[in-house]
Amino acid sequence: MSLAERLVARWYGGSRRPWLPRPLTWLYRAIVAMRVAAYRRGWLKAERLPVPVLVVGNIALGGTGKTPLVIALTRHLRACGWRPGVVSRGYGGNVQGTALLPDTLDPEQFGDEPSLIRRRAGVPVAVGHDRPAAARLLLDAGCDLVIADDGLQHYALARDVEINVVDGTRRLGNGLMLPCGPLREPPSRLERVDFCVVNGGEARDGEVAMMLAGSQACRLDQVDVCQPLSQWVGRRVHAVAGIGHPQRFFDSLRAQGLDVVEHAFADHHAYVSADLAFGDDAPVLMTEKDAVKCAAFATDRMWSVPVDAVLPDTFLQALDARLRQTSR
C-alpha cells in the first residue's frame, strides 16, 4: 500500500487519529485562517467580474463528484438562457499562463477534467493558474456566467454563489485538516456556502441529494457505438479509474452485476498503452475522465462509462433564481 493509500485509509477508515503530525495540522490551519482573513480585510484583493460567478468545490481531498456536477449545472443553466463558461486550474495539463480550450481536445496540454467538461458540456472552458485572468477569457468569449470548477479555496476570484460537494459515504472523514485529515479548510467553512450537495449516501437536513447515474458504455475508438452495461452481467471486466475515489467507480460496476478486476491509478494519471495491457481479452471499462486521455491508443476492447448527475428540480430552480438575483 502506497503512502497516499495509507493516508486515505487513516483519514476515512475510522482508525485512531494520528498524533505525530498534529503540529503540522495546527500550522496548516493557522496559515489557512490567516489567508482567509487577509482576503476579508482587503489585504489581499479578490477580483470581481462584471458577471455572476458560481463556485463549485469541496473542503475535503479526494473525488466527491465535482466534475459531473459542473457538467450538469452548466447544461441546466445553459437551458435556462445563460451563456456559461467554466474556469479551471487545469490539473494534469502543462499550459503556461492562461488558455481557452480549442475544439480539438488535448488532455495532456489542458488537463483531463477541463477537456471532459468541454466535450460533455459544450461551453467555453478556460484554464490557468491565475483564475481571474482565465475567467476574463470567458468574458471575451461572450459568457455571461462563470462557473469555477474546484474553486472554493481560490479566493482571488470573487464569487456570488458557492456550492460545496460532499461524498455521502465518506463525508468529512475524521474531521481533521491536512495532514492529519483530508480537509483543506475547517468544517466551519460549510456554514458560509450557499448550497451543500451530497453525492450518494443520505442527505441531511438542508443538504441537496445528488446521484450519479450511468447504465451504458461507449467504445473509445468509436464514441457513437454504445452498449448497455447489462451485456457484461456476470462477466469478468477490467475496471480502470484514475480519479480521487476509484472505489466508487468499481462499486458502481459491481452493483450492476459485473465481475470487476480493479485497476486503480493516481488521480490525473497520464496513461500509456502499456498501462492497459492486462494480458487477456476481457473488456476494459474506465471513467470518462480516464477515457479522454486514452483515446489516442484506444482499441475495440476499451470502453468509457459516462455518468450524469441527477439533481432535484427544486435545487436547480433555486440556483437559477439565486444567480439572477446577483446578475449585474
Three-state secondary structure readout of 3-55: HHHHHHHHHHCCCCCCCCCHHHHHHHHHHHHHHHHHHHCCCCCCECCCCCEEE
pLDDT in tens, 101-153: 998 878 888 888 999 999 999 999 999 999 999 999 999 999 999 999 999 99
SS3 state at 12: helix
Among residues of the chain, what percentage have pLDDT more than 70? 95
Record the pTM. Answer: 0.92
Locate 219 and state its grid cell.
467504445
The C-alpha atoms of residue 17 and residue 201 are separated, in whole angstroms, by 24
Among 3-17, 198-212, 239-253, the minimum mean pLDDT is found in: 3-17
pLDDT of residue 104: 84
pLDDT digits over 164-189, tens only? 999 998 899 888 999 888 999 999 99
